[in-house]
Chain A
Amino acid sequence: MTRYVMTIDLRRCVGCQTCTAACKGANATPPGIQWRRVLDIESGEFPDVRRTFLPVACMHCGDPPCESVCPTRATTKRADGLVAIDYDLCIGCANCVMACPYDARSIVHEPRFAYGDTPTAAEAARFDPARIGVSMKCTFCKDRIDHAERTGLVPGVDPEVTPACVNSCISGAMGFGDIDDPNSGVNALLAETQYFRMHEELGTEPGVYYVWDKS
């Protein structure tokens, strides 16, 4: 079996939003839509204050709440662990947007462009009308994962088949790979560190592991 997951080493993340911007570039999301972002969280009271950077996106849950509420079965969990949306089936009802405990989904009802109503050349080249009025979220760059299936390249090892955010991360905080593969990089990291998954108590079996210290 294959179960693709992401690891995020919170010891490394500096909140720079490079992954946010790289995702926007790779997936051509419109202004204001971020399939992933880094939260800037503060706790404590002056002078005992902690400030933490927490990258968030779709958790590609093992038991995704978005899937069960989808009336058209547009949202499905794939065999390799990716939670995918079929835009042809999605009716934009937003049930999944409400059901997702990670605030990972969004719907755009009208085209939006960076500088007014007219798309730039880059925006025009990449505008996809199929994305209007449907639910969208991080796909783990599934086109790349599918490309791996065809080519034998290894997600998390070969950049061509690794999510854009992971490729872009300048602090090396992000990792990607098959957790069912005992030799994968994500397994090696998790074996030597302490980690958590967000809102694991909800039973969603999230596919993103947050590393916070060595074992």
Chain B
Amino acid sequence: MSMESAQSKSVKHVPSYCYNCVSGPDLMNVKVVDGVATEIEPNFAAANVHPAKGRVCVKAYGLVQKTYNPNRISTPMKRTNPKKGRNEDPGFVPISWDEALDIVAEKLKAVRAKGLVDEAGLPRVAVSLGHGGTPSNYMGTFPAFLASWGEVDFSFGSGQGVKCVHSEHLYGEFWHRGFTVAADTPNCRYNIAVGANVDVTGGPCAVTRHADARVRGYKRVQVEPHLSATGACSAEWVPIRPKTDPAFLFALIHVLVRENGLAKLDIPFLRDRTASPYLVAPDGLYLRDPQSGKPLVWDENTAGAVVHDTPGAKPAVAGSYRVARAVVVDADKERREYSDVEGATAYEMLARHIEKYTPEWAETVCDVKAATIRRIANEYLEAASIGETIEIDGKTLPLRPVAVTLGKSVNNGWGAYECCWARTVLAALVGALENPGGLLGTTVRLNKSRDNRHLSVAPGEDGFMVQYFNPTTKEEWQVAPSTRNLHQTLVPIVGHNGAWSQALGPTQLAWMFQNERPDDWSMPMPTLPEVWLVYRSNPSISFWDTRHLAEIAAKFPFMACFAYTVDETNYMADVLLPEATDLESTQMIRMGGTKYMEQFWDHKGVVLRAKAVEPQGEARDFTWITTELAMRTGLLESYVKAINKGISGVSPLKGEGYDFRLDPATPPTTEQVWDAVCRAATRTMSEGREEHDLKWFEQNGFFTVPMSRLEWYLTPTMEQHGLRYELPYQERLLRAGRELGRRLHEKKMNWWDEQLSEYAALPEWHDVPGRWIRNLEKAGAKAEDFPFWLLTTKSMQYHAGGNAAIEVMHEVAQNLRGHAGVIMNAKTAAGLGIAEGDRIEVRSHIGATYGKAALVQGVRPDTLVIIGQFDHWATPFAKTLEAPSLNSIAPMSLDLTDATGSGADIVRVAVRRMEGRAAA
């Protein structure tokens, strides 16, 4: 310090943001001494607007090293070895930017000359972007380039579906515009966290809020096989058997519905805001009015069946009733007429359905005592404080301070539909869905407007919100897939509203079907994209069966990667383009409002990532690279017009009272782009009152306006529209599944039949863990040879951001258990002769991975855990860690793919000690 202060010529603190993971952005300052970034600091200027008071998490403190990492790609490079593969040295050699951009542009122009879509109907250009949409916060104007390009395939994911909270995204958005779902932690009193590792993955906002809640006295019950950091900070740990979470949640519903009964639940919410009163015919479809086709309810005032939106009616929530005349509408709009038919309310159907799922039954499945399940359910119900209210900005709302939150591998893969359904029903039963204290969606991605989920609420069918399913009718079903992950063909719920719909298709199918397809495949054969562009994405490490995946990646004919270091995916690249990283580049994004995880604020605004230091080597700002590509591919005009529309920025560059549009005929500089965006954004956010330019933001960093907390809660908006949440009964999904099945079967395809079983109006337990056992048996292995479950858990230090290559992140992570190896139960290990630090082999039926044993008590005896995904073989520094990874030994399999196209991070394994003892 003394040396530094003695010799310093200039010190500045440059405001910026960290968006390493989806829980951002969080605000920070970069301390720059004599032009060198030396420290990351909180930005306390944001203390009053940012829920985490201007602080960033541990990952951001690696950004200085990230900037000056000597292993960075410092110049554009091209491959000299035409052979591709893990054992083929790419022979990268430095080239000029001109040459690199020309190579990429020529490939792109060749594609345009042939047509954007190939003979199989698939885009010739594919783009893979990494972790959860975070690249868009770093890639400048690249979205405008993609928009100007046209059809692009986002099918080749780096983790979508298998590493994200996939079913939560799809069903959460379907039920309550909750692409991401969180507890209303500032008001919550009781949180059942089923694998939700929010103190690791939720970012500073979640950590701050949950810490406040603990001090305030809320109770969090952590239900998970391994005692995570979040579990450590919870009041209670329930070590559930892996993948049996649906049974646990079903039993909670049982206790509420069967043991407590409707009288103790939130009857007005169920009656008015859900489909609980809708009458269901014996065939499982809604009874409908023959004339209008609207679902019927039983009006207690008139003792008769009326359409659901009849003014003045008081629908019965429970019971069954005889209806004189009604129709049902089945798949393909098939109508059946009924007379004198019994209709049970949807709630009644739920009550009957859930009767068998007692806590005693669940105990046999979950290995959790029935008394524990019953106690937790009753604590939840009591904490819901039905009847209590809270005043927010002058409006009185119900206060229902309870939430069930779900974690990855609970809310994706088989069983996830059941879990998402159960926890949303649990919220609805007590009126906690989208009400203060309860369960909130924070983000929409499959609906618009993406920055205000309330604007996505509009009347749709049957008294519910409008939905944009991929069509499954005979006329409209997409029989020839338009993307390699078949998202429109196979997954109705994912919709077709742009890149997010694509990216949330069954991405592993895109990888799997490049090699082999089911015997009864009758669609066009999937092709490889002619050009593959990759940014912040390393599927050869982060997906599954990674050795095999890397072999597929090696077959892609042309690949250009925006590259930080050499890594396991860009090892197959033809061209590497070094982009300016976090501290070296400029971009404005939105912040606040309500978005991922627990980023729901009392403010909304914009934040600038200002260039704090000059880029290292020849690295270039992404906006500069993009503009060059647009020029060289002849797309400048449409690219600039896309920028003007606001596609890469925050707001359109022309709006009421302002016009900062850029000239489409002139390539804009990076500064011109972001100066215009800064001005337009502040004009928009302030409704014309203020305008700030790039210079202002370089000094001040961010701009916010206040936001009412009423924007956190969707239920008042639903009430305004007179709409109901599509719960608890899933007639729409049932019909969509039936139609999809018919379409596939008409094409003689049965390979998706197992997935079709997920389309149930009321989900049943279906031995979820058994699917993994059957899968290995099908592959010819014996179940008894693989007696353990292997899971993953996330690490705040490593999670996202490519931090395995950052030395300081590795160093500080080692303070936490298990970061060097395989976490296993100490007693189990003793039985196998494994001691702390022993090098062990963890083997599945497709391969083995190796690491040091980390022995703990806080994990089930039948479960092993590997943190993260670190078995790098090309990434400098990371490849020296000799760390294990589940990804190397988890199979990609249709059997392990659920109906949404997602799979869970779990595999059956054997474990043994390698020869030789660990050094003492």
Contacts and interface: CB of A to CB of B under 8 A. Distances in A.
Contact of B812 (A34, A47, A114, A171): A34
B1 to A, nearest CB: 6
B232 interface: yes
A173 B199 CA distance: 13
A14 B229 contact: yes
Given A11-B215, A42-B858, A126-B3, A49 B237 contact: yes
Contacts of B53: 172
Contact of B815 (A20, A118, A159, A214): A20
Contacts of A15: 229, 232, 815-816
Given A51-B231, A128-B1, A143-B1, A170 B52 contact: yes
B425 interface: no
Interface string A64-91: 0000000000000000000000000000
A32 interface: yes
B2 A130 contact: yes
A70 to B, nearest CB: 20
A13 B214 CA distance: 11
Interface in B115-173: none
A172 B36 contact: no
Nearest to B44: A159
B825 A46 contact: yes
B762 interface: no
Given A25-B40, A170-B207, A18 B3 contact: no
Given A17-B812, A46-B827, A49-B857, A173 B211 contact: yes
Contacts of B204: 170
Contact of A52 (B42, B44, B232): B232
A130 B3 contact: yes
Contacts of B41: 164, 167
Contacts of A49: 227, 237, 857-858
Nearest to A124: B36
B698 interface: no
A168 B42 contact: yes
Mostly, the A contact residues are mixed
> What range describes how many residues of B lie at the interface?
35 or more
A12 to B, nearest CB: 4
Contacts of A13: 233
A29 B75 CA distance: 30
A194 interface: no
B429 interface: no
A22 interface: yes
A46 B859 contact: yes
Contact of A39 (B42, B210, B796, B815): B815
A91 B811 CA distance: 28
B69 A115 contact: yes
A16 interface: yes
A51 B858 contact: yes
B39 A26 contact: yes
Interface string B245-278: 0000000000000000000000000000000000
Contacts of A169: 55
A120 interface: yes
B215 A9 contact: yes
B816 A17 contact: yes
Given A18-B56, A38-B816, 11 more contacts: A9-B211, A11-B211, A16-B207, A20-B58, A26-B39, A37-B815, A51-B229, A118-B70, A122-B65, A128-B2, A129-B3
- 8 smallest A-B Cβ distances: which pairs? A51-B232, A120-B68, A21-B61, A12-B211, A114-B807, A171-B211, A170-B204, A17-B812
